[in-house]
Amino acid sequence: MILFQDQIVEKSSIHISPDDRGYNFGDGVYEMFRVYKGELFAKEAHFARLIRTAEAVQIQLPYSIELLEEKLNSLLQVEKIIEGTVYLQITRGAAPRAHAFPLKSEPVVYAHCNEVKRPVHIMKQGITVKIVADIRWLRCDLKTLNLLPNVLAKQEALDAGADEAILHRDGLVTECSLSNVMMVKDGVLHTHPANNLILHGVTRAIVLALARELELPILEEPFTLDALRSADEVFITGTTVEVTPVVAIDQQKVADGVIGPITERLQEAFELKFL
Ligand code: PDD
């Protein structure tokens, strides 16, 4: 079952117009929620980001966040999801193809959920990454459907035998294709500031709050690819990856090539607090 507009229905029963602007222009917004213990995790932060993105691209949410939350919870119950994800997207709706906003169009809401286990093995073992140029626009803080540069970056990483892409603009590390990135050097946690060049990850903010609780020094400043390559620890954060260590960059080991102590402490703090 899926959520379509404000109804929980069979996926096969719905009709989405080929003139939907999400399909024609990527004209829509989305969120990806984690589900732990049958509940939407960090829902306030996700809904706040959804509202912010929708406002920025001038898509009117068709009904209240309270109703949306109620519907997503019903979907989780119907699908009996205890540990999983919820994907939600809202497009500007269908209209004859023209770039300008249509005078009349109804936003189209669609959400589905999946059973997804926490990637516990990968979170211990770590992933490898490829460095890829960040060719995205200048509003990476908005969670819109325009993900082609992210798709291409992820594929470039996979084609090179790596698991994820770390993106850079002119030698400065921004984030990854579907996650944020942090590094540790001499005990200091470094990550790109939450400005227009990265998605303001919900997990990123949670991990920074945990780091503050652990009294780890934090520097939210852009850092170079050279700094990344000589880091003591590198890890990525995201709804689907939680806190996952990066053990090799472009086939060169990060430090000893195993999960680092601060990454482990942050993973433990996350589990202790939320799971
Ligand atoms: N991606 N950066 C990018 C480009 C992302 O697409 C995501 C999330 C993140 C991490 O944000 P959060 O901690 O709020 O999940 C960072 C989702 C999972 C996706 O597109 O599927």
179 lines ligand 1 (CB under 6 A): yes
Strands 180-185 and 233-238: antiparallel
164 lines ligand 1 (CB under 6 A): no
Token match 């946690």: residue? 189
Ligand 1 atom showing the smallest separation from residue 143 Cα: 6
Burial 215-250 (b: 16+ CB within 10 A, else e): ebeeeeebbebeebeebbbbbbbbbebbbbbbbbbe
Encoding tokens for residue 272?
Answer: 């202790």
Q: Name residues whose C-beta falls within 8 Å of residue 176's C-beta, 6 or more positions apart in sequence.
A: 129, 164, 165, 166, 167, 236, 238
Q: Which domains does the chain have, with CATH numbers?
A: 2-116 (3.30.470.10), 121-274 (3.20.10.10)
Where in the sequence numbering do the catalytic residues fall?
A: 143
Q: Which one, of 212, 207, 215, 234, lies nearest residue 223 by Cα?
A: 234
Q: Determine the distance separating the centroid of ligand 1 and the alpha carbon of 89, expressed in angstroms.
A: 14
**pTM (global) more than 0.95:** yes
**In contact, 51 and 42? CB cutoff 8 Å:** no
Phi, psi of 212 (to 5 degrees): -65, -40
Ligand 1 contact, 201 CB (< 6 A) = yes
| Distance from Cα 179 to the centre of ligand 1, integer Å | 5
Per-residue model confidence as pLDDT tens for the chain (275 residues): 999 999 999 999 999 999 999 999 999 999 999 999 999 999 999 999 999 999 999 999 999 999 999 999 999 999 999 999 999 999 999 999 999 999 988 999 999 999 999 999 999 999 999 999 999 999 999 999 999 999 999 999 999 999 999 999 999 999 999 999 999 999 999 999 999 999 999 999 999 999 999 999 999 999 999 999 999 999 999 999 999 999 999 999 999 999 999 999 999 999 999 99
Instruction: Please list the residues that pair with 9 across neighbouring strands.
Output: 2
Ligand 1 near 238 CB (within 6 A): yes
Ligand 1 pocket, 50 CB below 6 A?
Answer: no
| CB distance 185 to 227 below 8 Å | yes
Structure tokens at 213: 């609780």
Contact 30, 91 (CB under 8 A): no
Structure tokens at 193: 């500031």
**How many Cα atoms within 13 Å fall on the side-chain side of residue 194?**
10
Per-residue pLDDT at 105: 86
Q: Which residue's CA is the closest to the ligand 1 atom numbered 5?
A: 178
Q: 239, 241, 243, 270: which to mutate for ligand 1, most atoms within 8 A of CB? A: 239
Q: How far is the CA of 199 from the centre of ligand 1 (A)?
A: 7
Cα of 103 to ligand 1 centre, how many Å? 32
Report how far ligand 1's centroid is from the alpha carbon of 96 (Å). 31
